[in-house]
Amino acid sequence: ARVKIREMIQDIRVAMFVTRTEEGHLRSRPMYVAAIEDDTAWMFTTAGEPKQQQVAEDDEVLLGFSDPRGQNY
């Protein structure tokens, strides 16, 4: 299943990155995917961004990928 998912998302460069705030709300923002290696999607951000604190407090995140041309979601 992981190989199939990697094949489906390997060419998608923008993912929706979802974290949980201190209040427990979901926060979603688009993030550029620099690379996908094995089971890791590499994304970079500016130091001090709120998402860094959110991930530090709760490292469960959701990545949403969409490829309408290939019908992959």
pLDDT digits (tens, 9 = 90+) for 4-51: 999 999 999 999 999 999 899 999 999 999 999 988 999 999 999 999
Residues 6+ apart with CB under 8 A from 22: 54, 57
The pLDDT of residue 70 is above 90: no
pLDDT of residue 72: 83
Could you tell me the strand order of the sheet in which 62-64 lies? 26-32, 14-20, 62-64
Output the CA–CA distances (angstroms, integers) from residue 68 to 12, 27, 56, in the order listed. 11, 23, 32
- Are 17 and 30 in contact, with CB atoms under 8 Å apart? yes
Name the 3-class secondary structure at 11.
Answer: coil
Which pTM does this prediction carry?
0.85
What's the whole-number mean pLDDT along residues 52-61?
93
